Chain A
Amino acid sequence: MAELFIQSAVRITSDQVWVNGEKVNITHEKESAWLTDIYRHLEIQYPKFFKMDNLCKAGFLASEFAMKGTNLEPSEEKRDWSVLLFNRSSSLDNDQNYQKTIADDSNYFPSPAVFVYTLSNIVTGEIAIRNKIMGESCSYIMEKFDETQLYENGLIGLAEGKGIHHLLIGWVEYLDDKCDVLLFHVSTEKDGNTICPWNIIGIKKYFI
């Protein structure tokens, strides 16, 4: 199997952001929303962000940091890119919000705008839409973060003959105000942006 390369590694927790192992200073006020602060730090104009649930916001923000290093415009079609995301809680953070809208028969107001986010793969769609990523997309659920599984999925995602040369792959978990994201841009080609080979040691190194 051909060697693969990590081009960028983005880690977002409930109070920190690291890109390629270096801490990013985000201006955060106690009363403001952490994910919104990160969005402001990025200095982008993408109003759809404010419609997203927290899981999508977290994944979207990580993808913005990852794509910054590529010099590719978001509007450029990326037919050889895929988005493969893993997590534990699926969309439970938003599922709980949706459940509140149907729990009380006397106050029953199911909303399509909330229901649409009750699927764990919507975040792959949000990232694909933003970046015109038209390769594969998949949401995988596993109870524990498993770097071996992540590594192996990277290999099959970039297997020869698929016509895919770039992955946004990682762990995007958000539940009850706890954010736990580790997203990689993995490429089949080594260049000046390569930070290390795609292997389990590399994955562990950036899981800060």
Chain B
Amino acid sequence: MIYKISDNIISPLGYSSEENYENMKKGITKGAFHQGTFHLPEPFYGSLLNWDEVESQFAQLPSNGVRYTRFEKLAILSAHKALEKTQIDPSSKEVLFVLSSTKGNIQLLENLDGFDKNRINMGVSADLLGAYFGNPNPVMVISNACTSGVVAQIYAKEMMEAKGYNYAVVVGADILCKFVVSGFQSFKALSPEQCKPFDLNRRGLNLGEGAATIILQKADVAPAGSLCILGTGNRNDANHISGPSRTGEGLYNAITAAYASGLVEKSSLSFINAHGTATPYNDDMESWAISRSGLEEVYTNSLKGFLGHTLGAAGVLECVISCHALKEGVILPTLGHETKGVVKEMTVNTELRKGNGTSFLKIISGFGGSNAAIIYGIK
């Protein structure tokens, strides 16, 4: 059995999972209008880190003389904060590190800032992450567009099961810069205001930046009350490189694959944490996949209204928050949602409410036709 033993989130809502979770329960968002940021000609609405704060947090970590980029500091800081809550020796070969990111240090393309050009390679950042903690194993980067964070957890689980690793430290991180924001703007994918997942009047997504870490352990029997990974699925739409299948085919197949393990029943679901980016296509597609899976009556939320879409961090970050909510018996609301407006039946959760089940389903989809699903349940 693979189960979660620690976690962390670094975002505009705080520097620990608990702080982020509590702020979401209070309905707090740090989304804001940004004009002139990154020298972009057009403004955007997004959720940005306070980098002075991040730098001062990072400065409190043990120094090894290496100069790190912002992206690397974020990943190291998150992993460090998750590790310090455990007894794990990260320099042990029993520990596997996995890094999830879509663009890593891509801002160096604009200005190398004294770094070598090969620092743009995400594998270099991954190696530096492992080296910071003295870890002897290769650190794989999972860069699978928006699904990276969930696919990285699936990869960690499968590697732990197949190999001798007893622990995995899965770190997801992405930062915003001109490259990323201008691209989403060119796609006309960004909402000019607070995003509205699954809403009739949704106008696109909000971008966000941050990092999140989940530490997994392997054991024959998971301790009572622990959060176990009970099913996973990764399926491609084979439909379009920048648009989801209209009927949610790949996501439906990923959900079906996740339940094929037979370790968990749909009837145990407390809630579904959807991708819910608030783009017209994504949210309609998810409603298709949810209703095709027979889950239209299960409370479903999207956390994008709190922190925006944190890209390679999102799949990890949203699993961490959902784990805390499941453990507390709570279902978080879908901030920004007012009037349901998706093509198929689903139950959008709009208020903070009690949850009854013992599992949640996280779903996520992205460019390249990728879709992923992961089920966590309380043992």
Contact = CB atoms under 8 A, between A and B. Distances in A.
Interface residues of A, number: 54
Contacts of B250: 134
Contacts, number: 164
A129 interface: yes
Contact of B140 (A119, A126, A140): A140
Most buried by B among A83, A111, A136, A144: A136
Interface in A133-175: 133-144, 146, 149, 152, 155-156, 159, 161-163
B159 A152 contact: yes
Given A112-B186, A132-B238, A163-B257, A142 B179 contact: no
A140 B142 contact: yes
Interface in A80-136: 83, 88-90, 92, 95-96, 98-99, 102-103, 105, 108, 110-112, 115-116, 118-122, 124-126, 128-129, 131-136
Contact of B187 (A96, A99, A115, A133): A115
A77 B109 CA distance: 39
B110 A142 contact: no
A202 B251 CA distance: 34
Contacts of B141: 140-142
Nearest to B187: A112
Interface residues of B, number: 57
A136 to B, nearest CB: 4
A53 to B, nearest CB: 11
Contact of B237 (A1, A92, A134): A134
A108 B163 contact: no
Query: 10 closest pairs, A vs B, by CB?
Result: A143-B123, A125-B368, A115-B183, A141-B141, A110-B186, A121-B368, A137-B236, A136-B234, A156-B158, A128-B238
8 contacts: A90-B121, A95-B109, A96-B109, A125-B368, A140-B140, A141-B143, A161-B260, A163-B260
Interface of A: 1, 77, 79, 83, 88-90, 92, 95-96, 98-99, 102-103, 105, 108, 110-112, 115-116, 118-122, 124-126, 128-129, 131-144, 146, 149, 152, 155-156, 159, 161-163
